[in-house]
Amino acid sequence: MGRLTGGDPAMLDLPRIGLAVSGGPDSLALMLLAHAAFPKAISVATVDHRLRPEAADEAAFVARLCVERGIPHTILTPDQPITGNLQSAAREARYQLLNDWADNQGLRWIATAHHADDQLETLLMRIARGSGIAGLSAIRESNGRIIRPLLGFTKAELVAVCQEQSVTPCEDPSNANLDFDRVQVRNWLKSAPPLLDAARIARTVTALRQSHEALEWMAARLEPERIAVNENRGATLDPSGLPPEIVRRLLIRALQSQNPQISPRGDTIDRALETLNAGGKLTIGDLVCTGGTLWHIEPAPPRKQNH
């Protein structure tokens, strides 16, 4: 989305935008830039996950900054304690709270402060995990109502925005926790030769995203002639003569024609493609897949009950 731009805010007829602001430099810069560009269109929410005692003070700090600028502000807290994989569970809780808040406030968009350095870190993490083209598209500019208008900004630029307005951000100690993959990647980048430029990487991510979208477009065009769905007998897929990446995407579409909730990971699809190409059989979730000239995907038979 590039740089935040405004003009005369009074002349703009904008939908109301929610900003997710934690008190760190990135999200504070998002708030400061958005307030300068669209002061009447924004509301701010701060999520206190109740995982750190300092978080309540950080939320109160953001609230004071909003009061000073006349920005509506809400502190959001989860109803239940966050357990399990803390990063994943906290992220899920955060987006649920933000979406509920946006619904209640009538907000069209929720803006987060992901920036170019986040994009670079995410790309490297996904390369390390063996992601395909979809994963390497990294952080997208929009996903449903979530928008990320700062992907064209570097971390240093956002820190400078806070300094220029004499706002001292909060520091989250989890940003130094080496148990997190992202922190390890961030520290590695600090010590690595300056060959990876966050702004230039954005062009690579854009090219990868466009490639992903082109392949999805082609798979959508081929789906009606290559996938046949029978409500009573599952689906069949004709993979003959197609490039492997197109077959991969059609297989996912065939699986989702039987179970829209299924979202197989890359290694699961790799194993499925190898098995089906060899004419074998495997189970993915609650679906049985059988290879051959045509591939068959159907619900697994009910398990026998032990009496």
Tens of pLDDT, residues 24-82: 999 999 999 999 999 999 999 999 999 888 999 999 999 999 999 999 999 999 999 88
Task: Please tell me the distance from the alpha carbon of residue 209 to that of residue 214, in angstroms, as a whole number.
Answer: 9
Task: Please tell me the distance from the alpha carbon of residue 160 to that of residue 117, in angstroms, as a whole number.
Answer: 15
The pTM (predicted TM-score) of the whole model is: 0.77
CB 44 within 8 A of CB 18: yes
Output the CA–CA distances (angstroms, integers) from residue 211 to 156, 254, 291, in the order listed: 30, 21, 28
Task: Please tell me the distance from the alpha carbon of residue 86 to that of residue 142, in angstroms, as a whole number.
Answer: 24
Domain locations in the chain? 9-205, 231-299
Q: State the first-to-last Cα distance of the chain, in angstroms, to the nearest integer.
A: 60
9-205 CATH fold: Rossmann fold (3.40.50)
Tens of pLDDT, residues 91-139: 999 999 999 999 999 999 999 999 998 998 889 988 888 888 888 887 8
